[in-house]
């Protein structure tokens, strides 16, 4: 049994099928949309990467606000940077410089002081930077990746521990102390030739094998035989030998618990489109997908003259942006 966990980004978790309409889509807050439009439109075109979906999934993820983990703090540091900027000039603090691009000449990621640099690919351009220091953390380069964390550590000697619902451990990839808020942890168990099983939420504790992990906090259960199910918008699963309940709407008010042939999981309420199809631009109006519903905005409403599209950095789908 193999388990993997990550912080979910908006509508990227699952597209299980179904239909709905744009008229029932969850509205996008005006300030978040304006911040994302500035961001995607101010970045130099040769570094095009952030389609509106990528930006809004970070700004619109409600669960980040109450998550005390290091990954959530990392995303929030980025979100706060782009929402505070009111012009392209002010956005330079949130976008890569030549010094950051140099990191990507020989690596997938890296650190410049306490700034985390994410690259489209080794030998390609930097696609984003996150100021770990601004979030009260350090940037650490480990043996296989770089990330923000509390402080450097040695995976061989660090003793993982619980602090209430928080799991505190030394990440062996980046050699830095990471904090995982088990209440909002998104994790999956992978079995050969089977669909992944979603096991979200819980608290910090000891699993059925005696290892420290995020586990359920209710009655005992068998991870191998327990059938996950929905109780309204709550995903009920067996996690580490105990039942865990996770409110899917805590990710975003556009999410619900879904039972399907692919299993039980949190997913967007709408499945009209996929963000991985890319953006479109016509007559100054950008069309993109977010939370499973097709969205449109007119660049003229935000002070721009029109829009254009460009290929994303790396292998991403076409990206649309506003132009003067």
Each residue's pLDDT tens digit, 25-39:
567 777 888 888 888
List pLDDT tens digits, range 65-112: 677 899 888 888 888 888 888 888 888 888 888 899 899 888 889 999
Q: Is residue 158 part of a domain?
A: yes
Is there a domain that residue 316 lies in? no
Q: What is the pLDDT of residue 265?
A: 92
Q: What pLDDT score does 45 carry? A: 56
Q: Is residue 134 part of a domain?
A: yes
Range with the poorest average pLDDT among 17-31, 35-49, 63-77, 284-298: 17-31
Highest mean pLDDT among 207-216, 248-257, 273-282 belongs to 207-216
Is 64 within a domain?
A: no
Q: Tell me: pLDDT of 10 over 60.
A: no
Per-residue pLDDT at 15: 29
Asked if residue 213 lies in contact with residue 207, where contact means CB atoms within 8 angstroms, the answer is: yes
Looking at residue 306, its pLDDT comes to 93
**DSSP result, 73-141:** HHHHHHHHHHHH--SHHHHGGGS--HHHHHHTTS-SEEEETTEEEEESSTTS-EEEEEETGGGT-EEEE
d(CA 217, CA 240): 9
pLDDT in the model for residue 218: 96
Instruction: Assess if residue 189 is contained within a domain.
Output: no
Q: pLDDT per residue over 155-165, tens digit each?
A: 999 999 999 99
Domain annotation covers residue 80: no
Q: What is the mean pLDDT of the chain?
A: 82
User: What is the pLDDT, as a whole number, of residue 146?
Assistant: 94
**How many Cα neighbours within 13 Å face the side chain of 185?**
27
Q: What percent of the chain has pLDDT over 70?
A: 84
Domain presence at residue 110: yes
pLDDT(52) > 60: yes
Categorize the per-residue pLDDT at 43 as very low, low, confident or very high, splitting at 50, 70 and 90.
confident
Q: Tell whether the model's pLDDT for residue 5 goes beyond 70.
A: no
48 assigned to some structural domain? no
Least confident residue range of 15-19, 239-243, 275-279, 281-285: 15-19
The DSSP string of 14-27 is: --------GGGSPP
State residue 310 phi and psi, 5-degree precision.
-150, 155
Q: How many structural domains are present in the chain?
A: 1
**What are the tens digits of pLDDT across the range 185-229?**
888 887 776 778 899 999 999 998 899 999 999 999 998 899 999
pTM: predicted TM-score of the whole model, two decimal places? 0.78
Instruction: Tell me which of 238 and 292 has the higher pLDDT.
Output: 238
Structural domain harbouring 151: 95-181
User: Considering just the CA atoms, what is the radius of gyration of the chain in Å?
Assistant: 20
């Amino acid at each position: 049994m193999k388990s993997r966990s990550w912080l979910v980004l908006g509508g990227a978790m699952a597209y299980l099928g179904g239909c709905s309409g744009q008229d029932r889509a969850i509205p996008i807050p005006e300030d978040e949309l304006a911040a994302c439009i500035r961001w995607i439109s101010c970045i130099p075109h040769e570094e095009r990467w952030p389609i509106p979906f990528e930006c809004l999934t970070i700004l619109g993820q409600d669960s980040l606000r109450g998550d005390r983990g290091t990954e959530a703090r990392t995303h929030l540091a980025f979100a706060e940077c782009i929402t505070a900027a009111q012009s392209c000039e002010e956005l330079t603090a949130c976008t890569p410089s030549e010094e950051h691009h140099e990191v990507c000449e020989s690596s997938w990621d890296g650190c410049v002081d306490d700034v985390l640099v994410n690259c489209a690919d080794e030998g390609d351009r930097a696609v984003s930077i996150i100021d770990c220091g601004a979030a009260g953390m350090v940037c650490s380069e480990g043996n296989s990746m770089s990330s923000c964390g509390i402080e450097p550590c040695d995976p061989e000697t660090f003793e993982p521990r619980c602090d209430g619902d928080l799991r505190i451990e030394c990440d062996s990839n980046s050699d830095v102390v990471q904090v995982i808020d088990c209440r909002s942890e998104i994790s999956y168990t992978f079995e050969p030739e089977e669909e992944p099983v979603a096991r979200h939420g819980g608290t910090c504790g000891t699993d059925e094998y005696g290892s420290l992990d995020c586990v359920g906090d209710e009655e005992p259960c068998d991870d191998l035989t327990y059938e996950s199910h929905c109780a309204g918008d709550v995903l009920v699963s067996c996690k580490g030998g105990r039942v865990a309940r996770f409110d899917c709407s805590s990710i975003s008010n556009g999410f619900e618990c879904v039972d399907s042939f692919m299993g039980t999981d949190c997913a967007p309420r709408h499945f009209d489109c996929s963000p991985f199809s890319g953006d479109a631009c016509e007559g100054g109006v950008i069309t993109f997908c977010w939370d499973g519903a097709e969205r449109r905005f007119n660049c003229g409403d935000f002070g721009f003259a029109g829009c254009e599209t460009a290929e994303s950095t790396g292998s991403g789908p076409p990206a649309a942006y506003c132009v003067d």
